Chain A
Amino acid sequence: MDETDILIGSVMEDAWLTLEQIAAACTADPEWLAQRLDEGCFPNAESVAGVWRFSTGAILRARRMRQFERDFDAAPELAALIADLLEESDALRARLHRAGLD
């Protein structure tokens, strides 16, 4: 490929990511993600005809959970709880931003 070539990317749309895509995006084994799904750590994932579908937000959640488990030996449930709290904090920061208060 030449350096002047222009690559055209595809936008990963909400609710269309597979388990394998989420796992690859956070350098995790699909089995790791499947276990967390069984444990209820991804409450917003949907199963359609037996196939898991994720929003793009699940990538950030998976990356965070994986980091907490790896860096602090956190139990999956604790990593999920911290991810919940960080998502809540993200939502509050977004409200501050919308109000022009950040």
Chain B
Amino acid sequence: MEFKDYYKTLGVTREATADEIKKAFRRLARKYHPDISKEPDAEARMKEVNEAYTVLFDAEKRAAYDQLGRGHRPGQDFRPPPDWDSGFEYSTHGYSPGGTADFSDFFAELFGRMGAQPPHDRGAGFRARGEDHRAKVLLDLEDAFTGATRQISLRVPRQDSQGHVHIETRTLNVKIPRGVHAGQIIRLAGQGAPGHGNAAAGDLLLDVHFKPHPRFRVDGRDLHFTLRVAPWEAALGAVIAVDLPQGKLKVRIPEGAQSGRQLRVRGRGIPGEPPGDLLLDILVVLPSAESPHARVLYETMARELAFDPRREAPENNHG
């Protein structure tokens, strides 16, 4: 297990005051906030920052960490001596952003038992439902049409007979129902943290996300697809085959279709009650005029059609 320098993570000195630690945390919380950060590793960095703040902002944990960490360097192999924490009284209060399940092995080894025991001041009859845990599940769009079984690995704190907490990896096979869409949450009852005093375990909540699809864009249960058509298909109308994530569909393009026009095929999006729609965004693609024959055809159209696109759509012509 590697030693973690929480002071370095927050960018403060070992002598920093509580106020300086709070300010440093807020600066980093803003920098790595998942809703706005452009940093590629923002989520991982935010976990490290949360973990460091959880320890350094709590006077009891900070004192224990300072005593233990004297003389250790970041990344150095580290094993806490037995009973290292005797003499420190921990409360279960303090800062713990969204639970500590995401924190490192280092944190779990040092402070994990705090979270594994019920609060001291609630008596022997204390019962409390376990915390809900969260995880992301990344699906292919095709899974929404067929359903899927996904293997999910979770890091779970476990307490051994000596009361030390270690992180274990737990693997679950989860059946993803057909018709699921991004933004939904799948609940696995009783698969969260164990309850205290024989109370029920929490649930595991899976946030559903789709991998980006090379052809379709997903909006709820609706599918968007850019349908590229030839000028004569757009002008004369045509029946065009579209490959869907499951099966094929023939779509009639009406005469006179233009780029930007959208065709809606009801009920051919992600299945469900109600199913989503398939939205086809028409894009007219011109053939190249590189060959002499194509050039002649374009020149014939230019001469004989007397077509002026700027007069056809004057609202788009500001020049």
**Residue ranges of A at the interface with B (Cβ–Cβ < 8 Å):** 3-12, 24-27, 56-57, 59, 63-64, 66-67, 70-72, 86, 89, 94, 97-98, 100
Alpha-carbon distance A54/B186, docked complex (angstroms): 16
Alpha-carbon distance A19/B172, docked complex (angstroms): 28
**Residue ranges of B at the interface with A (Cβ–Cβ < 8 Å):** 25-26, 29, 35, 95, 97-99, 129, 131-132, 134, 149, 171-177, 180, 183-189, 191, 202-203, 205-206, 217, 219, 224, 226, 281
6 contacts between A and B (CB under 8 A): A6-B173, A9-B187, A10-B189, A12-B185, A24-B129, A27-B131
- Choice from B29, B174, B183 contacting A7 with Cβ under 8 Å: B174
Q: Is the CB of B185 within 8 A of A6?
A: no
- Residues of A within 8 Å of B29, CB to CB, are 71-72
Measured CB to CB, the closest approach of chain B to A6, in angstroms, equals 5
- Residues of B within 8 Å of A8, CB to CB, are 174-175, 177
Q: A7-B175, A9-B186 are in contact. List 10 more A-B contacts (CB 8 A).
A: A3-B172, A4-B173, A10-B187, A12-B187, A24-B132, A24-B203, A56-B184, A59-B205, A72-B26, A97-B217
Q: Is the CB of A9 within 8 A of B224?
A: no
Query: Which B-chain residue is minimally distant from A71 (CB atoms)?
Result: B29
Alpha-carbon distance A72/B33, docked complex (angstroms): 12
Measured CB to CB, the closest approach of chain A to B217, in angstroms, equals 6
Measured CB to CB, the closest approach of chain B to A23, in angstroms, equals 9
Also in contact, A24 and B131, with CB within 8 A (given A3-B171, A9-B175, A70-B95)? yes
- Residues of B within 8 Å of A71, CB to CB, are 25-26, 29, 97
Alpha-carbon distance A56/B188, docked complex (angstroms): 15
Measured CB to CB, the closest approach of chain B to A1, in angstroms, equals 9
- Residues of B within 8 Å of A3, CB to CB, are 171-173
Query: Which B-chain residue is minimally distant from A82 (CB atoms)?
Result: B35
Q: Is the CB of B187 within 8 A of A7?
A: no
Alpha-carbon distance A36/B132, docked complex (angstroms): 21
5 tightest Cβ-Cβ pairs between the two chains A and B: A9-B186, A12-B185, A6-B173, A24-B132, A71-B29
Q: Is the CB of B132 within 8 A of A100?
A: no
Alpha-carbon distance A50/B129, docked complex (angstroms): 24
Alpha-carbon distance A4/B98, docked complex (angstroms): 30
Query: Which A-chain residue is minimally distant from B206 (CB atoms)?
Result: A9
Also in contact, A27 and B35, with CB within 8 A (given A7-B173, A56-B184)? no
- Residues of A within 8 Å of B188, CB to CB, are 7, 9
- Choice from A10, A25, A27, A98 contacting B224 with Cβ under 8 Å: A98
Query: Which B-chain residue is minimally distant from A59 (CB atoms)?
Result: B185
Alpha-carbon distance A4/B149, docked complex (angstroms): 11
Measured CB to CB, the closest approach of chain B to A17, in angstroms, equals 9
Alpha-carbon distance A42/B125, docked complex (angstroms): 35
Alpha-carbon distance A97/B281, docked complex (angstroms): 13
Alpha-carbon distance A3/B153, docked complex (angstroms): 11
Query: Which B-chain residue is minimally distant from A20 (CB atoms)?
Result: B129
Q: Is the CB of A70 within 8 A of B97?
A: yes
Q: Is the CB of B177 within 8 A of A11?
A: yes
Q: Is the CB of A26 within 8 A of B174?
A: no
Measured CB to CB, the closest approach of chain A to B157, in angstroms, equals 15
Q: Is the CB of A27 within 8 A of B99?
A: yes
Q: Is the CB of B98 within 8 A of A26?
A: yes
